[in-house]
Amino acid sequence: MSTIAAGDGTDRERRVDLDWLRIIAFAILIFYHVGLLYLPWPYHAKSSHRVPAIEPLMRLVNPWRLLLLFLISGCATRFLARRMPPGALLAGRSVRLLVPLVFGMLVIVPPQSYVQAVEQFAYRAGFLHFYVAEYLGGTRRLCRATCLALPTWNHLWFVLYLYAYTLVLIALTILLRPVRASVGAFVDRAAANGAFVVAPVLLLILARAALLPSFPPNDAFVGDWYAHSIYLAAFLLGFLMAGCDVAWKSLDRCRWPASILAAAVSAVAWPGHPADPSFGWTALLHRHETIAMPVYQWSVIIAMLAFGRRLLPRTDGPWRRYLTAAVFPFYLVHQTAIVLAAYALRDAGWSAAAEAAAIVSITVVSCLATFEIVRRSRWLRPLFGLRRVRTASPADAGGHFKPLANGSKPSIHPPDRSAPGKSDAP
């Protein structure tokens, strides 16, 4: 019987390999956002350099990176739901997603918007005036060729979408509770017949054909129907997969075909020259993009999940615990660090390579410094999506006594709150 019904099997312990895959995905995100500084694609800041040589690689990463993150988030939510009733899950997600979202919009995002206003909208006043008069001015818009809506969530749209999808998931688990066993059995049968390999591709094709032309992604939540259709599906799919070992075995059997297919599509899609109007897709694939893109997206994800499960560490350790806890604070801070560093170095006269290396270094150091400060403060931790840690006492059931070297007095050590299944990462 599926673990969705029985609560056994693959969801009994945390999937450490998925933690590592999420860490890798967020590391890619930092480099991806730095890459946007050097391309003509829309972004909040721009370097004075243009590096068209990186565009093919960016186009190969872009189609699957967010789908993978939402899928892994669905898996993580499955592990939480195993040990939390719906009400507790709702309360926990509300605190650890909405609080950082509001804090981020008020504190973390405004510097990004200010740089964008200065560089792209010729704004001339100082940051304090911008923050009070423009950013917090209600529904103010700065307009030139396009408009900058304020206030905004910028990269934190992911947090809002994740919270909304969690609400949908909680509602579904409550509604389907009377038929939980039947749903679990159906998922097992579907997984055994390859549904987790084929169905996501079909869904991506349908969404691309029916919704993308009329509802291109806007990150505004309202009217973002194409994005909702694929990201919510990935989130729910991750939730189902986390409790279904048959699904993981099915993906594992397809790891090599998926890898070969993804590599083949990548090779055909790679353009001959950056000036090619079909840049990113050759004429052949451009004509069949509605099918080719979903096949590529899901093939890459199958390969990453399957090979990740085989090759990434499956035993826990201090590095996994530290980085898993750091991922969400890193995500909150990284784009502001990138934008401010790019703004500061724009007129420094450095080469593109030196500038990019400096921006990456500044971003990583800024994120590390923020995390080190935040994780030590019980008041700052909730603002960055971390659990507020209380001081352990001898009466704490979770603490344990550890005798001192001289055997004189014991000290209390609180339980490791980053142990498997208790990570600080949302």
- pLDDT (tens digit, 9 = 90+) per residue, 228-257? 999 999 999 999 999 899 999 999 999 999
CA distance 101 to 161: 11
Confidence (pLDDT) at 265: 84
Confidence (pLDDT) at 138: 64
Confidence (pLDDT) at 393: 40
CA distance 224 to 243: 29
At 330, list the tokens: 């890193």
3-state secondary structure of 149: strand
Listed in sequence order, the residues at least 6 apart from 34 whose beta carbon sits closer than 8 Å to its beta carbon are: 338, 356, 359, 360, 363
At 356, list the tokens: 């990019």
Residue in 308, 307, 425, 304 with CA at minimum distance from that of residue 375: 425
Q: Using an 8 Å Cβ cutoff, are 390 and 377 in contact?
A: no
- With a cut of 70, list the residues of the chain below it in pLDDT: 1-13, 138-140, 269-287, 390-426
Confidence (pLDDT) at 282: 54
Confidence (pLDDT) at 268: 76
CA distance 166 to 204: 21
